[in-house]
Structure 1
Amino acid sequence: MPIVPNRLRRLIATATAAAAALALSACGAGPDTGDEAEPLRVWLMQNSLNEDLTEQIVRDFEDRHPGRRVEVTVQEWTGIGEKVTDALAAQEAPDVIEVGNTQVAQYVDAGGVANLTLKVPELGGDDWVSGLEEPGKIDGYQYGIPYYAANRVVIYRKDLFAAAGITEPPATREEWIEATEQLDQPEAGQQGIYLPGQNWYVLAGFVWDEGGDLAVELSGRWEGALDTPEALRGMEFYERLHRLGGGPADADEATQSEVFAQEEIAQLIAPPGHAKLITELNPELQGKLGFFPVPGKQADTPGAVFTGGSVLIIPENARDFEGGYSFVQLITGDTWQREIARTMSYVPNKTTLADALEGDPGAEAMAKGAEAGRATPNSPSWAALEADNPIKEYQTAVLTGQDAARAAKEASDAVTALLSGTP
């Protein structure tokens, strides 16, 4: 059986999806309401929405579409990649699927995801959070529709800041370094910041701030870019910050909240939801935690951060494409985006909706940071790289004294090999 190149397959899919959309529009076709045994099938991920909010959104959709029923299936993240790929290849796929924003490329590469580029204007695409919009766009076409976002902020001890005479959170990266130097008091057993050596998500933000990237696509081939001058400057800043605390050079962020709760640490870089875990582990910290966006190089611009979150896709083989699109339009519209943001403390899909988080300090800081949000390189092989991540080993190498340029070149070569599938 001949192999169709990925790019050609995407173009074929694009043409097919566009033709289908035009056909629906031309004939005024609507969802099949003749058989109530066939509900609109929606896959949402675990912890995406709570049960009450899910029921409210479903009820709203059904009220707007008399005679229609919505069947929501909650999926677990473990093993979801293979499950979604199989569903996209099925003769009748679900009508809407929530996927991680960094997963879109691999699903488009496998085939079966509808091209929704023509729908972007009416979905408010001009205001989408870039860290959700860009990963959903492959070869200039929009396949994933932004749903919600989350990113890391600085969680800090307000009491330790006050004791050091720091009255306001730092506004720039240099101010951040100066404040952290004041807070780092090893003789008193206090760390200015707890930054594990292998927190590559944080490193990515510093690299982006310097104008670099983790990998770039050149003539259809992905290549590691950690050895560029810009990326090396990002690693240099990471090293400066790392030195102002006791984070192990060979550890990632898996247990950092537990460490923060147990020791005298002034700052931690994590999603704001970790504050709840910290206070559960150490109730004495209740009311002592504050939040601010990761500072950028200029005072009026937050630092770049990795934006995680979800987008919604519609399979080409969905039984009810138009019904699926109507559901996407509803749940990504301003009314429900505001409610989802308030209820779940997520960043809404549009920058114009950030006011929905007023009164929630952690979520407000997260939304501010999302203005400079980015996603990982849009390679269909990125998930494979994360499973065997050479960026983490590179960080450890530099933090333990190895030559940064040489270690960056070795890591870049490893990234290139993993993204290109070469041994």
Structure 2
Amino acid sequence: MRVRRALTVGLTTLVAASLALSGCSSSDDSGSDGGGTKKLTVWLMTGSAPDALVDEINTEFTKAHQGWTVDYQVQQWDGIQDKLTTALAGNNPPDIVELGNTQSPRFVESGALADLSKSKDDLNGKNWLEGLAATGENDGKTFATPFYAANRIVVYRKSMFTKAGITAPPKTIDEFIAAGQKLQAANKADKQFQALYLPGQSWYTLLSWVWANGGDVAKDDGGKWTATLDSPEAQKGFEDYARIYKAMSKAPADQDEANPQQSTVFAKGHVAMFIGLPWEIGTATAPDGGDPKLKDDIGTFEIPGPSGPAPVFLGGSNLGVAAGSPNVDAATDWLKIMLSDATQTKLAANGVVPALTNLGDTVYGDNEAAKVMAAAATNGGKVTPVTPAWAAVESGTNPIKNAMTKVLRGTDVATASKEASTSITETMAKAK
């Protein structure tokens, strides 16, 4: 779900050389007829799936593939792009890998992943989340499947809403600000109180209001990407962010949601709302650094837009098969189990949005935050530009963050958004 650093230049060349040296092709499955390694190596990221669920998948796989074993390895996000780059270009790559959805386009375009297009129907492709599926595609072909998604929602204290006389979650920005004013009036004795903790550089949240106003980050013209944050529609998103920030937040204008960790700030008792990922609820209610008593006092709702719920950035992960794997058919069979209705239902119970859109709300049980997150994902889940060049924007000094801080400190939106767009366009062009 995260982009840690730009991929090493020359991945395509390394992969091609590796395939030539090993004599492998992406369509060969030498292990499926008893002549191969009979071992499937699976790399998933830490926290992505419960060990018990992966054990179930591996057991089902080995029952159907006599003589096979699964070497399941949990990887850490820190440094994973470099590790994947090296591993996928080697002579003995892992067969199945998890990729952050913003990482996927570069691996897809590099030739590091096997073409799974012919197996798409068997992999439940008709039910895939569109936003995640797009990040695993190139030139009409599928090289990576969706795995799971997560997106931002508004987290709030029910007791504070009750105290302020707010009987229903706000659905529009005007209602959002009006609720904030009621909260501030009800807590005016607390000089540290904030109706909403919204740091100045929470740029994924900004994108919700950019998209809600009809703007976008960039446009693709025949492979040439041009940033469009300076369009009138996108500028309206900046204006909405500034309006909400100034009306409700005292958070730093030059920091993001991780500095300090916003869920920890929320847990201290002086904040009524924040916009974050569902796992941050766990941090806010943890015994270490949070407040366990909050568990029964937390509610959630979708991010308000100008006229209703706003689109959200659809973060998440994809799954791919190494182009250099000799076990593509067996790896595809493993993916079939992971992407089945049954397995995805169990994954959803872990508090994420499953890769499939056909499962309904019942898969979330009584997890209200997961239900709200899923509704937001299916109603308007979007992603950043689907191109390998985008990684360079996120891995460097993000110009969107700089623009946000400038706007909140008085720079006019037109100037700040133009500077950001120019910087993004130049960075993407250099990264090609």
Q: Same fold (TM over 0.5)?
A: yes
Q: Please tell me the residue identity of whatever aligns with 2:208.
A: G
Structure 2 unaligned residues grouped into runs of 5+:
1-8, 20-24
Match of 2:300 in 1: 291
2:367 counterpart of 1:360? yes
Match of 2:389 in 1: 381
Deviations 1:97-145 (A, max 9, x none): 1111111111123322122233323323232222311212233322210
Bigger mean CA deviation after superposition, 53-62 or 184-193 = 184-193
2:197 counterpart of 1:225? no
Instruction: Judge conservation of contact 1:384–1:418 (CA < 8 Å) in 2.
Output: yes
Match of 1:193 in 2: 196
Match of 1:16 in 2: none
2-structure distance, mates of 1:351, 1:53: 20
Q: SS where residue 121 of structure 1 aligns?
A: coil
Tell me how far 1:298 sits from its aligned partner.
4.2
Q: Please tell me the residue identity of whatever aligns with 2:177.
A: I
Partner residue of 2:283 out of 268, 277, 284: 277
Bigger mean CA deviation after superposition, 281-290 or 245-254 = 281-290
Bigger mean CA deviation after superposition, 287-296 or 314-323 = 287-296
Tell me how far 1:381 sits from its aligned partner.
2.5
Match of 2:428 in 1: 419
Tell me how far 1:93 sits from its aligned partner.
2.2
Tell me how far 1:236 sits from its aligned partner.
1.1
Judged with a 3 Å threshold, the aligned counterparts in structure 2 of structure 1 residues 175 and 95 are, in CA distance, closer, same or farther, namely same
Once the two structures are aligned, what percentage of the paired residues are identical?
A: 39
2:253 counterpart of 1:252? no
- Number of aligned pairs? 403
2-structure distance, mates of 1:422, 1:116: 27
1-structure distance, mates of 2:35, 2:113: 26
Instruction: Judge conservation of contact 1:306–1:376 (CA < 8 Å) in 2.
Output: yes
2-structure distance, mates of 1:270, 1:291: 10
Instruction: Judge conservation of contact 1:153–1:272 (CA < 8 Å) in 2.
Output: yes
Instruction: Judge conservation of contact 2:108–2:144 (CA < 8 Å) in 1.
Output: no
Superposed, which structure 2 residues align to 1:13-412 within 5 Å? Answer: 31-34=32-35, 38-185=38-185, 187-189=188-190, 190-243=193-246, 244-254=248-258, 255-280=261-286, 281-299=290-308, 302-342=309-349, 344-355=350-361, 356-371=363-378, 372-387=380-395, 388-412=397-421
2-structure distance, mates of 1:233, 1:138: 32
Judged with a 3 Å threshold, the aligned counterparts in structure 2 of structure 1 residues 332 and 422 are, in CA distance, closer, same or farther, namely closer
Q: SS where residue 122 of structure 2 aligns?
A: helix
Deviations 1:211-239 (A, max 9, x none): 21112222212221110111101111111
Instruction: Judge conservation of contact 2:32–2:38 (CA < 8 Å) in 1.
Output: no
2-structure distance, mates of 1:141, 1:174: 43
Instruction: Judge conservation of contact 1:33–1:68 (CA < 8 Å) in 2.
Output: no
Deviations 1:219-260 (A, max 9, x none): 212221110111101111111111112121111000211111
Instruction: Judge conservation of contact 2:198–2:245 (CA < 8 Å) in 1.
Output: yes
1-structure distance, mates of 2:329, 2:61: 13
Deviations 1:120-173 (A, max 9, x none): 233232322223112122333222101111111110010111111111112333
Instruction: Judge conservation of contact 2:31–2:38 (CA < 8 Å) in 1.
Output: no
Bigger mean CA deviation after superposition, 275-284 or 385-394 = 275-284
Instruction: Judge conservation of contact 1:192–1:266 (CA < 8 Å) in 2.
Output: yes
TM norm structure 1: 0.89
Tell me how far 1:296 sits from its aligned partner.
3.9
Instruction: Judge conservation of contact 1:215–1:223 (CA < 8 Å) in 2.
Output: yes
1-structure distance, mates of 2:156, 2:204: 19
Bigger mean CA deviation after superposition, 84-93 or 400-409 = 84-93
Instruction: Judge conservation of contact 2:26–2:324 (CA < 8 Å) in 1.
Output: no
2-structure distance, mates of 1:354, 1:295: 23
Q: SS where residue 192 of structure 1 aligns?
A: strand
Tell me how far 1:20 sits from its aligned partner.
6.0
Q: Please tell me the residue identity of whatever aligns with 2:387.
A: S
2-structure distance, mates of 1:417, 1:107: 22
Instruction: Judge conservation of contact 2:304–2:310 (CA < 8 Å) in 1.
Output: yes
Instruction: Judge conservation of contact 2:173–2:305 (CA < 8 Å) in 1.
Output: yes
Match of 2:22 in 1: none
Judged with a 3 Å threshold, the aligned counterparts in structure 2 of structure 1 residues 145 and 223 are, in CA distance, closer, same or farther, namely same
1-structure distance, mates of 2:342, 2:307: 34
Judged with a 3 Å threshold, the aligned counterparts in structure 2 of structure 1 residues 40 and 414 are, in CA distance, closer, same or farther, namely same
Tell me how far 1:184 sits from its aligned partner.
2.9
2-structure distance, mates of 1:133, 1:174: 34
Judged with a 3 Å threshold, the aligned counterparts in structure 2 of structure 1 residues 251 and 263 are, in CA distance, closer, same or farther, namely farther
Alpha-carbon RMSD across the aligned residues, in angstroms, is 2.5
1-structure distance, mates of 2:136, 2:213: 24
Deviations 1:333-372 (A, max 9, x none): 1110001111x21111112224211311111111111111
Q: SS where residue 122 of structure 1 aligns?
A: coil
Tell me how far 1:61 sits from its aligned partner.
1.2
Instruction: Judge conservation of contact 1:93–1:319 (CA < 8 Å) in 2.
Output: no
